[in-house]
């Protein structure tokens, strides 16, 4: 999935924007990151995830797990026991992604307050 028709030349900056979108298309979903984090410390079971991740529905857990597995970010192991036991674990690729997010979380922490203030200011300005 490309960002623009390949025959259209675009600037290096927009190419970069396109690359960022690739990432967002994988882990931009509401629950993807939480799941990856939980599965980055070792195998976790379905119900464990359901308990650890506040507010997720069974449906969205399943869907997001499937997508992450499809993209090669999660590995799924089925133990043919009774009752069934299924474990999910982050792949090396996903662990690298996790590392790459550090810069981003640092940014968010540094500017959390400034963003909140900007919002308040904007909303005050644009009322009435």
Partner DNA sequence: CAGTATCCCGTCAGATACTG
Partner DNA sequence: CAGTATCTGACGGGATACTG
Identify what 89 binds: a second copy, DNA, none; CB under 5 to 8 Å per kind: none
Nearer to a second copy, 38 or 82 (CB): 38
Q: Which residues bind a second copy (CB under 8 A)?
A: 3-5, 8, 10-11, 13-14, 16-17, 19-24, 26, 28, 30, 33-34, 36-38, 40-41, 52-55, 69-72, 93, 96-97, 99-112, 114-115, 117-119, 122-123
Rounded Cα distance between 117 and 21, Å, is 27
Segment near DNA (CB under 7 A); pick from 11-19, 27-35, 91-99, 103-111: 27-35
Nearer to DNA, 56 or 97 (CB): 56
In angstroms, the first-to-last Cα distance of the chain is 43
Rounded Cα distance between 1 and 57, Å, is 28
Q: If we measure between CA atoms, which residue out of 101, 24, 29 comes closest to residue 64?
A: 29
Hey, what's the torsion of the CAs at 64, 65, 67, 68, to 10 degrees?
110
């Amino acid at each position: 999935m490309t960002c623009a028709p390949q025959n259209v030349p675009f600037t290096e900056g927009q190419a970069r924007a396109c690359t960022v979108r690739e990432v967002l298309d994988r882990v931009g979903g509401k629950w993807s990151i939480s799941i990856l984090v939980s599965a980055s410390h070792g195998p976790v079971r379905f119900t464990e995830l359901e308990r650890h991740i506040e507010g997720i529905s069974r449906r969205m857990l399943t869907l997001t797990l499937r997508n992450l597995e499809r993209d090669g970010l999660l590995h799924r192991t089925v133990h043919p026991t009774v009752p069934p036991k299924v474990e999910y674990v982050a792949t090396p690729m996903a662990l690298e992604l996790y590392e790459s997010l550090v810069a981003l979380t640092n940014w968010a922490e540094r500017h959390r307050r400034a963003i909140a203030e900007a919002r308040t200011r904007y909303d005050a300005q644009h009322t009435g």
